[in-house]
Amino acid sequence: MSEFPVISTVVFLPLLGVVLLLFVDRQREAAIKYLAFTVSLVTFLVSLLLYRDFQLNVPGMQFVERKSWITDLGAQYYVGVDGISLLLVLLTTFLTAVAILSSYTAITKSVKEYMICMLLLETGMLGVFVALDLVLFYVFWEGMLIPMYFLIGIWGGPRRIYATIKFFLYTMAGGVLMLVAIIALYYLNGGRPGGEYTFDLLKIYGIELPFATQAWLFLAFAVAFAIKVPMFPFHTWLPDAHVEAPTAGSVILAGVLLKMGTYGFLRFALPLFPEATRYFTPLFSWLAIIGILYGALVSMVQPDLKKLVAYSSVSHLGFVMLGIFALTLQGIEGGILQMVNHGLSTGALFLMVGMIYERRHTRMIADFGGLARVIPVFTACFMIVTLSSIGLPGLNGFVGEFLILVGIFRVNMLYAVLATAGVIFAAVYMLWMFQRVMFGTVTHEENRRLADLSARELVVLVPVIVFIVWIGVYPKPFLSVTEASVKQLLAQVHVRYRVEQRMSGPGFGPVLTQDQRTTGETRETPHAN
Amino acid sequence: MPISLPPVSWGAMLPLLVVTATGLLVLILDPFTSPAHRGRLGILSLAGVAVAAIALLQRRGVSEIVFGGMLAADGFAWFFNLLFLLVAGLTLLISMPYVRRFGMDQGEYYALLLFSTLGMMIMASSLDLITIFLGLETLSISLYILAGFLRERLESNESAVKYLLLGAFASGFVLYGIALVYGATASTNLKRVAEVVASGRVTSPTLLIIGMGLLIIGFGFKVASVPFHMWMPDVYEGAPTSVTAFMIAGTKAAAFAAFLRILMTALPSLQPDWGRILWVLAVLTMTVGNVVAIAQSNIKRMLAYSSIAHAGYILVALVAANKLGSGSILFYLVAYSFMNLGAFAVVIALALQDRERVSIHDYAGLGLKYPFLGAAMALFMFSLAGIPPTGGFMGKFYIFSAAIQAKYIGLAIIGVLNSVISAYYYLRITVVMYMGQGEAEPAAGRLSPALGLAMLIAVLGTLQLGLFPSRFLELALRSVEALFG
């Protein structure tokens, strides 16, 4: 591996872009837009280096960089990626570039501040995915709220202020409890025999804690992440934030921000607190299933396109959570892939809703109808994205959902059956929406004169669609990077669990035994770091 | 019996002497300066503060006890004195345009500012209850006058009178506390008191406990902890804005310096007792400060209540009573001074345009109209709310770390939840600045260079403490070693 600090370059390039933007006169909006887009594009291209040089069979962290930061407390600037975070980093750099390009015409006021916020947000999000030090992670996790807060609050819809404050306070409330847990973990880890006072996540991984302590700490982390995901019943901030956010904000929010929550479970909550994870698995699985069904049912009755897509996110993220808490190889791999899929397809849906909103200044389904004849190219793209969101075989959504269902089926058939109902509901609300918007006769005169996709809009959408099809047809390049790391994660979750099991005898019933079978190949792997 | 004078270490006293001499020089030169050139007195004061700071910087790492154990020039005093000089310097920078604009351009203003800085420095350097009291009075009496410096404004007079009455009341508590502690231990020297208490040779434990309680009440008034906070919003609202900035940052730091010294050096063995009292005070102070701040629409009043809440956070660290806790207080006070003085610099920058703009609605549309002022104010607000990557976050992080280290998990949880409450009213300012309708157009004007410099220092300080806190924390931790040694 080269000495070139790829991760830091990727994380801080957008920040460099911000500095450059500060020196551009605010009147020169075109220059500001091009500069911001160029920076985000270069960031994406540099992040591809991570994929190129990624070692598939290495389960641990790669491209690791380590610098001392707060020496007295043992917090460091410590970053790296593994199979769990790699795809999310790429998704972030990709969607940010797409989102910036998509806002060329949508944003008319304070373009400079807008682009600065977008790039700051990118740095914050990337930092969350690569940080391996708990303090560093927290700094990115909370710091990222500031640009998102402004994006919704300044460039959002009519109820933007309510939405953005709700978003901020919800996330912060979850975050601060996690901060307490992080600090507690630090002292618990330092205080154990041979322990070291450090915020180094990989060193804390091996910590053995009494069950009650684990449970409290797990809950503190889990609430922070569950709010972000958002899991039912912590989801109420999401529809507000999504509906009021500008299009690019929604794309980033759905595409990347929500993944921070699911990522947090995989990176922190599960491997740090294995016994607590096992104990709370039924609870979180049921919340995930409620989320899947509830999100789908609420989507069905939404009159507003954007709200429909927002609630569908609750449903989709429920799938991801269910896959993660299956605690099987397929379930977690499917969950990770589904995070990417959801980012692509829901991101694209928000983009297209934004495009049609720019033309008609309404998002009400009732205001449309018969668009298929007026704007055929738009309709074709919308069709592909809709089908991808439903999980049609041959498109990306299918692969992720299928893996999740396989993973969960081997653990608990009831969960799988209920989740499958969610897939059917998804088909109902998405296709019904599609039918009402695209087919039939044109009921509103204004809709007859709609312009089809412009060249720039095509440039925005086509790369997303390419990935949608690619993952659907040939998912191997995406799945193969995750495998080694997921296996190691499972070993972490299961290894000590088995020890406890041996001491206290069988207590968890069939769920456990089946689970052990499915992860048999990782069983003998010692906890490796 | 011949009286032997203790040897005087001039080097250790130099920073204090420079500040005193500058103050006196300003008073002497004042009658000979034409009103048009009074700004020069401000520059002279600034130079004095700078010289004192340089003299202080020369003495880094030197630890010395002078005046027969009355004053200490140790790491703790060094750190705090540097902080006071920083606060004084920044206050002078933001004062100079403000006093000119509002007709307070008199030599006394600068001289009193310097004398109250002197009082703070004495408080932080004191190793004796008597000198602490001397410093406290030097500080307070100067501030009583400064609070009423806008003679023609009713609120300013009200502020001064309230401050004087309640300040005197609090001083009475402190003095009575000192007397009782002396009665119980036969000494006012902090280290002697600690020895006597530790060895159990206290004449009357009841007397000692009551004395300690009175000291806590007295300092509770001075740091404005709930329920001794009533005076503070009125005083801070009515006083000239530059003086409010000085009080909010400097007075609080000085009071905590002395409080910390008394509790950690003189009464460490009573920690179980005062820890329990301060636990309650901390929770009340954080919660009441934050909840009441939500209802404020005057920005000075809001910052006043928010500073009550911040006193609560600092009390959390005091309860923890460990080395990290004491160090985090020092760190927090630095971050706190930067962000509050910065915020007040913005308030003053707006006041200079045409009139005092202290209603929250006066900030509508400010953010996008003045990008630098807006961004700076937003940064200070996020820092006050404790959002990374700012100094305010790191300060809170250390404080809550200290609390958790000392096993006060519940207190830490109450503290972090309080910072969520506080985020609401700090965000409100940014909402108004960036998301409100900009009807109330503040007249455009150039930022005065002094204010711009003060703001820039505050912005850089806030970011530096948030992004690269390591060196400051190390310094703070080394400085509090004097308390435990």
Contact criterion met (CB < 8 Å) for A68 and B409: no
Amino acid at A351: L
For residue A68, which residues of chain B lie inside 8 Å, CB to CB?
470
Amino acid at A526: P
A492: closest CA among A262, A202, A242? Answer: A202
Return the pLDDT at A1.
46
Instruction: Count residue pairs from A and B with Cβ separation < 8 A.
Output: 88
Return the pLDDT at A496.
52
Q: Does a structural domain hold residue B439?
A: yes
Percent pLDDT > 90 in chain B is 71
DSSP A303: S
Provide the 3-class DSSP secondary structure of residue A63: strand
Q: Of B388, B435, B474, which is closest to A143 when you measure between CB atoms?
A: B388
Residue B479 near residue B76, CB atoms below 8 Å? yes
Lowest mean pLDDT among A244-248, A482-486, B348-352, B472-476: B348-352
Q: Does a structural domain hold residue B371?
A: yes
Q: Each residue of B171-184: pLDDT tens digit? A: 999 999 999 999 99
Nearest-CA distance from A226 to chain B in Å?
Answer: 18
Q: Of B397, B401, B427, which is closest to A165 when you measure between CB atoms?
A: B427
Task: Determine the Cα–Cα distance for residues B110 and B116; give it in Å rounded to an integer.
Answer: 10
Task: Determine the Cα–Cα distance for residues A385 and A389; give it in Å rounded to an integer.
Answer: 6
For residue B374, which residues of chain A lie inside 8 Å, CB to CB?
none
Residue A35 near residue A17, CB atoms below 8 Å? yes
Q: Each residue of A246-297: pLDDT tens digit? A: 989 999 999 999 999 999 999 999 999 998 999 999 999 999 999 999 999 9
Nearest-CA distance from A136 to chain B in Å?
Answer: 10
Residue B245 clears pLDDT 90, i.e. is over it: yes
Average pLDDT, chain A: 87
| Residues near B296 by beta carbon (within 8 Å), at least 6 away in sequence | B302, B305, B360, B425
For residue B430, which residues of chain A lie inside 8 Å, CB to CB?
149-150, 153
For residue B409, which residues of chain A lie inside 8 Å, CB to CB?
180, 184
> H/E element holding A357?
helix A329-360
Burial classification of residue A476, based on how many CB atoms lie within 10 Å of its CB (0-12 exposed, 13-18 middle, 19 or more buried): exposed
Is residue A106 within 8 angstroms of chain B, CB to CB?
Answer: no
Amino acid at A434: F
| Residues near A183 by beta carbon (within 8 Å), at least 6 away in sequence | B397, B400, B401, B404, B412
For residue B404, which residues of chain A lie inside 8 Å, CB to CB?
180, 183-184, 187
Residue B112 clears pLDDT 80, i.e. is over it: yes
Contact criterion met (CB < 8 Å) for A179 and B416: yes
Q: How confident is the model at residue A411 (pLDDT cuts 50, 70, 90)?
A: confident
Residue A38 clears pLDDT 70, i.e. is over it: yes
Q: How confident is the model at residue A524 (pLDDT cuts 50, 70, 90)?
A: very low
Q: Of A26, A138, A168, which is closest to B427 when you measure between CB atoms?
A: A168
Residue B444 clears pLDDT 80, i.e. is over it: no
Return the pLDDT at A415.
92
- The pLDDT of A333-340, averaged and rounded, is 93
Q: How far is CA B80 from the centre of its chain?
A: 10
Residues 138-157 of chain A with CB under 8 A from chain B are 138-140, 142-143, 145-146, 149-150, 153-154
Percent pLDDT > 70 in chain A is 93
For residue B400, which residues of chain A lie inside 8 Å, CB to CB?
179-180, 183
Contact criterion met (CB < 8 Å) for B387 and A135: no
* Helices and strands in chain B, H and E counts: 21, 2
Residue B101 clears pLDDT 50, i.e. is over it: yes
DSSP B249: I
Return the pLDDT at B67.
83
Q: How confident is the model at residue B68 (pLDDT cuts 50, 70, 90)?
A: confident
For residue A135, which residues of chain B lie inside 8 Å, CB to CB?
397
Tell me the DSSP string of A480-499: HHHHHHHHHHHHHHHHHHHH
Q: Does a structural domain hold residue B184?
A: no
Contact criterion met (CB < 8 Å) for B400 and A135: no
- The pLDDT of B52-69, averaged and rounded, is 88
Nearest-CA distance from B28 to chain A in Å?
Answer: 47
For residue B420, which residues of chain A lie inside 8 Å, CB to CB?
169, 172-173, 176
DSSP B66: E
Residue A528 clears pLDDT 70, i.e. is over it: no
- The pLDDT of B38-59, averaged and rounded, is 93
- The pLDDT of A305-310, averaged and rounded, is 91
Task: Determine the Cα–Cα distance for residues B53 and A492; give it in Å rounded to an integer.
Answer: 55
Return the pLDDT at B280.
95
Residue A470 clears pLDDT 90, i.e. is over it: yes
Residue B111 clears pLDDT 70, i.e. is over it: yes
Return the pLDDT at B137.
95
For residue B423, which residues of chain A lie inside 8 Å, CB to CB?
168-169, 172
Give me the domain span that covers residue B447: 269-485
Task: Determine the Cα–Cα distance for residues A426 and A392; give it in Å rounded to an integer.
Answer: 11
Q: How confident is the model at residue A370 (pLDDT cuts 50, 70, 90)?
A: confident
Cα–Cα distances in Å, from B292 out to B295, B384, B387?
6, 16, 21
Q: Does a structural domain hold residue B286?
A: yes
Alpha helices in B126-230 (DSSP H): 129-147, 154-185, 190-199, 205-222
Closest chain A residue to B425, measured at CA: A165
Contact criterion met (CB < 8 Å) for B435 and A179: no
Residue A10 near residue A43, CB atoms below 8 Å? yes
Q: Does a structural domain hold residue B208?
A: no
Nearest-CA distance from B78 to chain A in Å?
Answer: 20
Q: Of B405, B419, B477, which is closest to A187 when you measure between CB atoms?
A: B405
Tally of CB atoms within 10 A around A367: 17
Residue A512 clears pLDDT 70, i.e. is over it: no
Q: Does a structural domain hold residue B30?
A: no
| Residues near A258 by beta carbon (within 8 Å), at least 6 away in sequence | A228, A229, A230, A238, A313, A317, A342
- The pLDDT of B63-67, averaged and rounded, is 85
Task: Determine the Cα–Cα distance for residues B391 and A524; give it in Å rounded to an integer.
Answer: 46
Is residue A70 within 8 angstroms of chain B, CB to CB?
Answer: yes
Q: How confident is the model at residue A510 (pLDDT cuts 50, 70, 90)?
A: very low
Give the residues across from B73 on adjacent strands.
B64
Residue A346 clears pLDDT 80, i.e. is over it: yes
Q: How confident is the model at residue A521 (pLDDT cuts 50, 70, 90)?
A: very low
Q: How confident is the model at residue B53 (pLDDT cuts 50, 70, 90)?
A: very high
Higher-scoring residue by pLDDT: B187, A109: B187
Closest chain A residue to B414, measured at CA: A177
Residue A341 near residue A399, CB atoms below 8 Å? yes
Return the pLDDT at A13.
93
Number of domains chain B contains: 1
Contact criterion met (CB < 8 Å) for B469 and A168: no
Task: Determine the Cα–Cα distance for residues A184 and A171; give it in Å rounded to an integer.
Answer: 20
Is residue A186 within 8 angstroms of chain B, CB to CB?
Answer: yes
Contact criterion met (CB < 8 Å) for B409 and A186: no
Nearest 10 degrees: Cα torsion B410, B412, B417, B421: 130
Stated pTM of the model: 0.92
Closest chain A residue to B412, measured at CA: A180
Nearest-CA distance from A274 to chain B in Å?
Answer: 23
Residue B380 clears pLDDT 70, i.e. is over it: yes
Nearest-CA distance from A177 to chain B in Å?
Answer: 7
Contact criterion met (CB < 8 Å) for B382 and A142: no
Residues in chain B: 485
ipTM reported for the complex, 2 dp: 0.92
B462: closest CA among B277, B249, B214, B293? Answer: B249
Match 């407390």 to its residue by tokens: A73
Closest chain A residue to B476, measured at CA: A72
First to last CA, chain B: 34
Residue B169 clears pLDDT 80, i.e. is over it: yes
DSSP A367: G
B290: closest CA among B377, B417, B393, B410? Answer: B417
Q: Does a structural domain hold residue B125?
A: no
Return the pLDDT at A128.
95
Is residue A15 within 8 angstroms of chain B, CB to CB?
Answer: no
Return the pLDDT at B56.
93
B123: closest CA among B145, B112, B139, B111? Answer: B139
Residue A229 clears pLDDT 50, i.e. is over it: yes
Return the pLDDT at B438.
60
Percent pLDDT > 90 in chain A is 55
Give the residues across from A75 on adjacent strands.
A70
Contact criterion met (CB < 8 Å) for B470 and A70: yes
B147: closest CA among B227, B251, B50, B230? Answer: B251
For residue A72, which residues of chain B lie inside 8 Å, CB to CB?
470, 473-474, 477
Task: Determine the Cα–Cα distance for residues A216 and A275; give it in Å rounded to an integer.
Answer: 12
Nearest-CA distance from B414 to chain A in Å?
Answer: 10
Return the pLDDT at B485.
65
- The pLDDT of B471-480, averaged and rounded, is 92
Higher-scoring residue by pLDDT: A389, B367: A389
Q: Of B400, B423, B431, which is closest to A172 when you measure between CB atoms?
A: B423
- The pLDDT of A117-124, averaged and rounded, is 94
- The pLDDT of B94-106, averaged and rounded, is 87
Contact criterion met (CB < 8 Å) for B387 and A153: no
For residue A172, which residues of chain B lie inside 8 Å, CB to CB?
387, 420, 423
Tally of CB atoms within 10 A around A366: 12
Q: Each residue of B273-332: pLDDT tens digit? A: 999 999 999 999 999 999 999 999 899 999 999 999 999 999 999 999 899 999 999 999
Q: Which two tokens stand for residue B120?
A: 């703070």
Burial classification of residue A466, based on how many CB atoms lie within 10 Å of its CB (0-12 exposed, 13-18 middle, 19 or more buried): exposed
Is residue A180 within 8 angstroms of chain B, CB to CB?
Answer: yes
Interface of B with A (CB under 8 A): 368, 371, 382, 387-389, 393, 397, 400-401, 404-405, 409, 412-413, 416-417, 419-420, 423-424, 427, 430-431, 434-435, 468-470, 473-474, 477
Burial classification of residue A265, based on how many CB atoms lie within 10 Å of its CB (0-12 exposed, 13-18 middle, 19 or more buried): buried
Provide the 3-class DSSP secondary structure of residue A76: strand
Q: Does a structural domain hold residue B308?
A: yes
Q: Each residue of B190-239: pLDDT tens digit? A: 999 999 999 988 888 899 999 999 999 999 999 999 899 989 999 999 99
| Residues near A97 by beta carbon (within 8 Å), at least 6 away in sequence | A37, A40, A41, A43, A44
For residue A140, which residues of chain B lie inside 8 Å, CB to CB?
388
